[in-house]
Structure 1
Amino acid sequence: MTIHTTRRTFASTYFFLSASLAATALCLPAASMAQNVNFAGKTVELVIPFGVGGGSDVWARFNAPFLSKYLPGNPNVVVKNVPGGGSITGSNQFASNAKPDGLTVLGTSASTQFPYLLGDPRVRYDYKDWQVVMAAPTGGVAYISSKLGVKSVKDLGKLKGQKLVFGSQGATSLDLVPLLGFRLLGLEVQHVFGMKSRGEGRLAFERGEANLDHQTSSAYIKSSLPLVKEGKAVPLFSWGVTDDNGNIIRDPAFPDLPHIAEAIQMATGKTPSGGEWEAFKAFLIAGFPAQKLLVLPKGTSKEVVEAYREAVRKMIQDPAYQAGKEEALGGYEQVTDKAGDALFREATSITPHARDWVRYHLGKNYNVAF
C-alpha cells in the first residue's frame, strides 16, 4: 500500500485552490472590510470544549499563534478549555455568553456536531446561528485482524456468522461512524463501549480483545500501519473524502484503499443508497471531511468574519504553518471561504427522517436514550 506523506483531503480543483482563488477574487472588497477591524492590545479567547491534550486541543494550540500573527492588530490568542458533556457544556456556554465582537471564537469537533445532528436535548446551541471561518478535515482507515483470513474488503463475505469485536468510545461518539458503516457492510459486530480513546481501542486490538478497529489518518500511519507491516492487521478501506459535489471519493492519503462506498459495493454487490445510507453519510461528513470547525457567535459582523477569514487565508500559506501541519494536523488542508461554507452546511445538516432513523436504531439496539 502506498502512503502519500503530502496529502490533500479533497478534490484539488475545489479545496486546495479554493482558498487561494477566493483570496484573489475577494481581495479588494475583503481587504476593505478587514481594514475596519483592529484587535490591537486585546485578547482573543479560542474556546475548546474539550480537555487539555486531546486532538482538538492540539489543533487549537497549533492554530492560535498563527491567528495572532495574522488577525488585524495581532491580538494575543489564548486557548480556553471548557470540557464537559462531550463538548456540549463549553459549546452551550459559548452560545449563551460569547459577544459578537470577534474576541471569542469556538472550535467544535465531531463530538459537538453529532449531538446537534441527533437532536440531543442537552444541546442549547444552533449551528445556524454561527459563522464558520475555517473547516478542518481528517481521514481514517478501518482494518481487521489477519487471523480471520481476510485479505481485502472483497473477502468480508467469508465472515458471515463470525463474531467481530470493536472497542468503541460510545454509540454517539465519533465511533458512531463505524457503528453505522459496519452495519452497511453487512458485518455482525459486537461494539464494546467504554474505550476512553481510539488509542485504547487500538490497544484492545493489539491484545486480541478486539479483531476490528479504525483510526484517524495520523494515528493509523503512526501506530496501526506498523501492525499491517508486521502482518497482524489487514487494511480494509478508508472513510474517504468528499469532492465539491459532496460525493465520496478516495482519500489521497490512501489511494490504494477503497473508500467506504466502494467497500460497501464490493462487500454486498450493491451501490449504497436509500435512507440508511443518507443517514450514515451525514455523520460520516461531520466526523471526517468536516471534523473540526472554527466559528464566530451569533450577530458577528461581516467585517469581523472577513478579518478572520483573511487571517486564515494568510496563515495556511505561511511556510512555518506548512512545515508544521503534517505533525499537528495530519497534513490535511484547512479551508475557508466557499469551501469552508460548503463543509459547514454538510456537517451540520440532516433530514428529519435520517435523524429519526439513527435515533431509533441507537435506542433499539444500544439502549441510547434521548
Structure 2
Amino acid sequence: MKLSSILSTAAFAAGAVASASAVHAQSYEGKTIEYVIPFSESGGSAKWANFYAPKLAAALPGSPTMVVRYRPGAGSTEGANWFQSQQDEGDGLLLFGDSGSTKFPYLLGDPRVRYKYEEWQPVVASATGGVVYLPPDLGEKFDGDMDDLKDPFYLYGSQGATTLDLVPLLAFKMLGMQVDPVFGVEGRGDGRLMFERGEANIDYQTSSAYLANVQPLVDDGLAVPIFTWGALDEEGVIVRDPTFPDMPTFKEVCEATEGCETSGVAWDAWKAFFVAGFANQKTIFLPQSASQEVYDAYVAAAKAVVSAEGFAEEAETTLGVYPQMTGAAAVEATRQATSISDEAKQYVLDWLMEDYGISVQ
C-alpha cells in the first residue's frame, strides 16, 4: 500500500469543500450528538474519541453538544454490530468510531461480524503507532535484538487474538518469544493495568495511550520501551515512528534477531494487519442513511478541525505525529485498511488455529 495515493486524494478532497448553502442549511444548535466507540473508557480509542469530540462539536453548525459513549464487548464486534443496526439514523446525531480491533475480524471473515464497512460513511481516518515495553528487569537486557529475551516466559493481557492484539502476538511469534496471552481483557487500558499490577510482564499501547499513561511509568523507572511498530512512508515502506524517532521499529528488531525474517508470507501477513491496525487505524463514521448534506457538514467541520491553528501541536501531544485524513481521503484509507490478499489471510487463519485453537470462519 502507498500512502501517496491517500495523500493525493486528501489534496483533491481539500479542494472539494461542501457548498456553503448545504453546510449552513444544516444546524445542530441545541442538539446532542452521541459518538459511540466499541471499547472501554481506559484505552487509546477513548483518548482519541475524547480528543476529537469537543473539536468536531465546536466546528459543526450550531455548536452542538457531543457525548462519547462506550459499548465494549467481543473485541469491539459487539459495538460495531450495534452500529450496523443503526444505519437508518441519518440525522447526524450518531457517530461511530472504530479501530483495528474492529477491522481485523472483518478482514478474517469472523462469523460474529454482521457489520458492512462498505455501507458506512467515513468522515475522519487517523493513523497511529504503538510501543512495546517491558518491566525494568527484562528491559535492561534489550540491546537492539530479542536474542537474549527469548528464554523468559511472558504473560500478556489481551483482548483476543483476532483483535488489534493480532499485530503484537504475531510479532512476538516471529521474534521467537514465549508469550502466553491472557485473553478476555476489555481494552488495552486493562492490559496496561495488568502490567502495572505485575500480572503481565509485556505490554504494548497505541501512541495516545502510551503518551498519556505509560510515559509516566517510564519516567519513574517502572517500564522500559523497546520498540515501536513503525510508520509507513509515502512508498509504503516501514520507517521509524515520527512520534518516537529514537526507538527502533519492529522491522529493525526483527532484522537483528536470529530467525526473524522481513520477507516471505509471515512478514507479508504481519504487514497487512499492521496497515489495517495502525497505518489507517481509527475512523469516524456516519451511518449509511446520513444525507449528503449531513455528510458535507461533518466533512467541512473535520477539515476545519485538522487545519486549525495549533491543531498539529495539540494532536502531537495527545495522538502523536500521524496523518489525519478527511472526506474522500478517509474513504480511500478505509478501503485500503479493509482489504487483504488471500495468501496473507490464509496464513493468519492457519496460525490462529495452530497456536490458539481458534477457528475464525
TM-score by length of 2: 0.82
Q: Which moved more, 1:260-269 or 1:199-208?
A: 199-208
Of 221, 227, 232, the match for 1:237: 227
The answer on 1:347 being equivalent to 2:328 is no
Which amino acid letter does the alignment assign opposite residue 178 of structure 1?
P
CA change 1:22–1:221 in 2 (3 A) is same
Deviation at 1:37, TM superposition (A): 4.9
1:170-206 Cα deviation digits (max 9, x unpaired) = 3223222110111122323222334454444445445
Distance in 2, matches of 1:234 and 1:58, equals 22
- Aligned partner of 1:39 in structure 2 is 27
What are the within-5 Å matches in structure 2 for residues 152-231 of structure 1?
Answer: 152-154=143-145, 156-205=146-195, 209-225=199-215, 228=218
SS of corresponding position for 2:299: helix
Q: Is there any run of 5+ residues in structure 2 with no aligned partner, and where?
A: none
- Aligned partner of 1:279 in structure 2 is 269
Aligned residues of 1:37 and 1:307 also touching (Cα < 8 A): no
Of 125, 135, 149, the match for 2:125: 135
CA change 1:268–1:26 in 2 (3 A) is farther
Count of matched residue pairs: 356
Distance in 2, matches of 1:51 and 1:207, equals 19
Distance in 2, matches of 1:190 and 1:338, equals 41
- Aligned partner of 2:115 in structure 1 is 125
Distance in 2, matches of 1:24 and 1:209, equals 47
Deviation at 1:162, TM superposition (A): 4.2
Which amino acid letter does the alignment assign opposite residue 122 of structure 1?
R
SS of corresponding position for 1:309: helix
Of 45, 58, 80, the match for 1:56: 45
Aligned residues of 2:242 and 2:321 also touching (Cα < 8 A): no
Distance in 1, matches of 2:121 and 2:185, equals 33
TM-score by length of 1: 0.80
Of 345, 348, 356, the match for 1:358: 348
SS of corresponding position for 1:64: helix
Aligned residues of 1:48 and 1:108 also touching (Cα < 8 A): yes
Deviation at 1:240, TM superposition (A): 1.0
RMSD after superposition: 3.4
Aligned residues of 1:64 and 1:78 also touching (Cα < 8 A): yes
Task: Give me the identity figure in percent.
Answer: 46
Q: Which moved more, 1:49-58 or 1:285-294?
A: 49-58
Deviation at 1:314, TM superposition (A): 0.3
SS of corresponding position for 1:98: coil
Deviation at 1:242, TM superposition (A): 1.7
- Aligned partner of 2:142 in structure 1 is 151
Distance in 2, matches of 1:101 and 1:111, equals 27
1:192-226 Cα deviation digits (max 9, x unpaired) = 33445444444544565544322222443444445
Distance in 2, matches of 1:225 and 1:70, equals 31
Distance in 2, matches of 1:227 and 1:97, equals 40
What are the within-5 Å matches in structure 2 for residues 22-37 of structure 1?
Answer: 22=12, 25-27=15-17, 30-31=18-19, 34-35=22-23, 37=25
Deviation at 1:355, TM superposition (A): 2.3
Of 299, 324, 337, the match for 1:309: 299
Which amino acid letter does the alignment assign opposite residue 252 of structure 1?
P
SS of corresponding position for 1:166: strand
Distance in 2, matches of 1:36 and 1:116, equals 37
Distance in 1, matches of 2:280 and 2:268, equals 16
Aligned residues of 2:254 and 2:260 also touching (Cα < 8 A): yes
CA change 1:108–1:205 in 2 (3 A) is closer
1:308-346 Cα deviation digits (max 9, x unpaired) = 221101012334755754565356553214542343123
SS of corresponding position for 1:236: strand
Q: Is there any run of 5+ residues in structure 1 with no aligned partner, and where?
A: 1-9
- Aligned partner of 1:7 in structure 2 is none
CA change 1:274–1:339 in 2 (3 A) is farther
